[in-house]
């Protein structure tokens, strides 16, 4: 099977068709219509075998994950996902593997009403690059630079499960089968908080998705907003699997440092705090307050039961380690 046969079989004519796509797969470019009075939100992520996923990941999970991490970026901006382009690099053609990979892609794309409108296929070491696009009403996008002193800090769900899944494999941690199943699902089939992101427009002052770890991603908001923060460790939500598998201090590296959870981290002015929970619960999302913004220059003070808590933190950052 050659390149254009692969495209025609696994991408062209599959998935949903949006009315705002004027020209999809098959030409040099796709053509789309952006709604009036909206801005176009664009994000790109690359997933590389051995860096972002284990080499033996199930292909359906990889397909889901590749799109999910990009849709999560759109969610963090309060955008409605619309179109994606996919650049797929494969070492060889395994038709069953590609079938399952693209099934995973089409399933999540259909769920979020997203059309795959183009991309590229090449031969080489396994990697997937997704460029996702979405729309957001002019002037309403959520950014990282809007947090103000006195704002409250929230997350949309439990943290640390994806990291626990990774380390359970790397370190051979003993985890009960039902809990292991849960954390593996959280790692391989993350749920982008698209609806929550759109609800937060007009309510939140800043937002980011947790891809590099709570402290690292909160640091991005603080640095861009030129403020500091206090975080109450005991308020950070964790799953039953995390609680059952590790003691409190063992949990900390996972809930504070590890990424790949793709929950939203956002700040809300005190005046909007009361209506937040009501609006989010309509979409099955809980508003979980973990701290507050204060004056300063990007520092994060951790509190445990009201007392200052010292923890060395470092989120994931490319090129921070020598891979040679």
Q: Which residues are annotated as a binding site?
A: 28, 43-45, 52, 73, 119-120, 144, 209, 211-212, 260, 316
Q: Per the annotation, where are the binding residues for substrate?
A: 52, 260, 316
Return the bridge partners of 308, or none: 303
- Which segments within 50-177 are labelled E, that is strand? 80-90, 115-123, 127-137, 152-155
Cα–Cα dist 130/68, whole Å: 10
Six token digits for residue 156: 């949309």
Residue 22, burial from CB neighbour count under 10 angstroms (0-12, 13-18, 19+): exposed
Six token digits for residue 269: 């002015």
Cα–Cα dist 156/286, whole Å: 6
Cα–Cα dist 198/251, whole Å: 31
Cβ(66)–Cβ(188) below 8 Å: no
Cα–Cα dist 90/72, whole Å: 25
Q: Report DSSP state, residue 17.
A: -
Q: Per the annotation, where are the binding residues for Mg(2+)?
A: 28, 43-45, 73, 120, 209, 212
Cβ(152)–Cβ(133) below 8 Å: no
Q: Per the annotation, where are the binding residues for ATP?
A: 119-120, 144, 211
């Amino acid at each position: 099977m050659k390149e254009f046969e692969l495209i025609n079989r696994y991408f062209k004519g599959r998935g949903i068709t949006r009315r705002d796509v004027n020209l999809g797969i098959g030409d040099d470019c796709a053509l789309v219509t952006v709604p009036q009075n909206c801005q176009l939100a664009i994000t790109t992520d690359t997933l590389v075998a051995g860096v972002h996923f284990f080499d033996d990941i199930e292909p359906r999970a990889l397909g889901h994950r590749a799109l999910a991490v990009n849709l999560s970026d759109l969610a963090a901006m309060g955008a409605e996902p619309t179109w994606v382009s996919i650049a797929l690099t494969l070492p060889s053609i395994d038709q069953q593997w590609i079938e399952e990979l693209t099934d995973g892609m089409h399933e999540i794309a259909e769920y979020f009403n997203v059309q795959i409108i183009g991309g590229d296929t090449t031969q080489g070491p396994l990697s997937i690059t997704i460029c996702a696009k979405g729309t957001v009403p002019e002037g309403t996008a959520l950014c990282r630079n809007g947090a103000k002193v006195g704002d409250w800090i929230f997350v949309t769900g439990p943290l640390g499960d994806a990291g626990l899944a990774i380390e359970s494999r790397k370190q051979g941690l003993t985890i009960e089968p039902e809990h292991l199943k849960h954390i593996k699902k959280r790692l391989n089939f993350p749920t982008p908080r698209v609806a929550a992101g759109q609800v937060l427009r007009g309510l939140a002052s800043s937002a980011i998705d947790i891809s590099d770890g709570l402290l690292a991603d909160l640091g991005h908001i603080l640095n861009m907003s030129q403020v500091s923060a206090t975080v109450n460790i005991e308020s950070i939500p964790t799953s039953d699997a995390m609680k059952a598998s590790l003691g409190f201090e063992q949990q900390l590296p996972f809930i504070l440092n590890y990424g790949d959870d793709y929950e939203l981290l956002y700040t809300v002015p005190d005046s909007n705090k009361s209506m937040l929970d009501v609006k989010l619960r309509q979409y099955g999302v809980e508003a979980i307050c973990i701290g507050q913004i204060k004056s300063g220059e990007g520092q994060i003070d951790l509190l445990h039961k009201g007392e200052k808590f010292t923890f060395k933190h470092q989120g994931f950052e490319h090129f921070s380690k020598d891979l040679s």
